[in-house]
Amino acid sequence: MFEIQRQGHAAVLEFDHGKANEMGSEQLRSFEALPEQLGDARALISFSRRRSRRGTPIFIAGANVTERVGWSRDQVAGHVRWQRATLARVRRMPLFHIAVVNGVALGWGTEYLICCDYRIASKDATFGLPETGLGILPGAGGTSELWSLIGVPQALRLGMTGERISADEALRIGLIQEVVEDVDAGLARAHELASAVARKSPTAVAAFKQGLLDAVGRSAEDRTEVEAQAYEHCLDSGQAAIGRENFSAIRAGDEVPWGPRIPWSR
């Protein structure tokens, strides 16, 4: 469903479907297959060049609500649970996921950012959660997880008012991390970050991400133990030894034979 291209160690996912990159059942099935499609990619870059007939740039304009016409209550509830679970799995992929947002990112488009590790937006990007004005609420993480990125007051503001915000305001509240001139500048920056990740141990990078996410919400004692286990995985997998043996090459910025990613399970 999605067009995914490999560019070096980065996988690039371009949204270009439907009327406005809306997310529905077909797209969710593609997301379920995403980890297998990415293989040994060190980074994933999500972006869109889509424009409306009037020329408005679009990242993701929301969920595909038209496909739900005639659905029962249980069908809708099950579908939204599927959305939530699918994005949660994408969030846990053992690579660096960068979103480059150009244009409209409403509802699902804003919620999608929760499953990304780093978010870059063009100056034309806009964000918002219109769901409560439709008699529902953000159900793909916007209610349960968005607060962890921007804080409770800002999450309540977006979800309860439906207010649209600019890229500069999204940067101010922490929804995104950088604002750039346009989508091409965003992609250039994303590839710069992806190249930096690709020079690191894929095992250590994946263990760092898993350890960080696993530590969220735990006690200080549990957080310390999670970090210890993640660190020891780097020792046990041999990555620390490779790092020591190739210290001069690492300092010089040369390639290091890290080998394939070695999964860590707690």
Give the tens place of pLDDT for each residue, 66-95: 899 999 999 999 999 999 999 999 999 999
Does residue 262 form part of some domain?
no
Q: Are 211 and 152 in contact (CB under 8 A)?
A: no
153 and 129 part of one domain: yes
Residue from 22, 32, 111, 225 carrying the catalytic annotation: 111
156 and 214 part of one domain: no
Question: Which CATH number does the domain housing residue 140 bear?
Answer: 3.90.226.10
25 and 106 part of one domain: yes
- What's the pLDDT score for residue 6? 93
> Minimal CA–CA distance to 205: which of 93, 68, 94?
94
- What's the pLDDT score for residue 204? 98
217 and 148 part of one domain: no
Task: Please state, rounded to an integer, the average pLDDT across all residues of the chain.
Answer: 95
Residue with tokens 């800002």: 154
Using the predicted structure, report yes or no on whether residue 107 has a pLDDT greater than 70: yes
**Strand, coil or helix: what is 60?**
strand
98 and 180 part of one domain: yes
Does residue 165 form part of some domain?
yes
147 and 225 part of one domain: no
Q: In whole angstroms, what is the distance from residue 173 CA to residue 91 CA?
A: 21
220 and 140 part of one domain: no
Count structural domains, the chain: 2
Q: Are 106 and 134 in contact (CB under 8 A)?
A: no
- What's the pLDDT score for residue 1? 63
User: Checking DSSP bridges between strand 165-166 and strand 118-122, what pairing results, if any?
Assistant: unpaired
Based on the residue annotation, tell me whether 221 is a catalytic residue of this protein.
Answer: no
Residue from 22, 131, 169, 245 carrying the catalytic annotation: 131
Residue with tokens 């250039």: 188
Using the predicted structure, report yes or no on whether residue 121 has a pLDDT greater than 90: yes
Which tens digits make up the pLDDT trace of 36-47? 889 899 999 999
Based on the residue annotation, tell me whether 111 is a catalytic residue of this protein.
Answer: yes
Does residue 259 form part of some domain?
no
Does residue 218 form part of some domain?
yes
Mean of pLDDT values over 212-238? 97
- Of the chain, the percentage scoring pLDDT greater than 90 comes to 92
- Of the chain, the percentage scoring pLDDT greater than 70 comes to 100
pLDDT range class, residue 266, cuts 50, 70, 90: confident
- What's the pLDDT score for residue 18? 87
Does residue 183 form part of some domain?
yes
Q: Which domain holds residue 211?
A: 201-252
14 and 84 part of one domain: yes
Q: In whole angstroms, what is the distance from residue 254 CA to residue 246 CA?
A: 9
Mean of pLDDT values over 108-127? 97
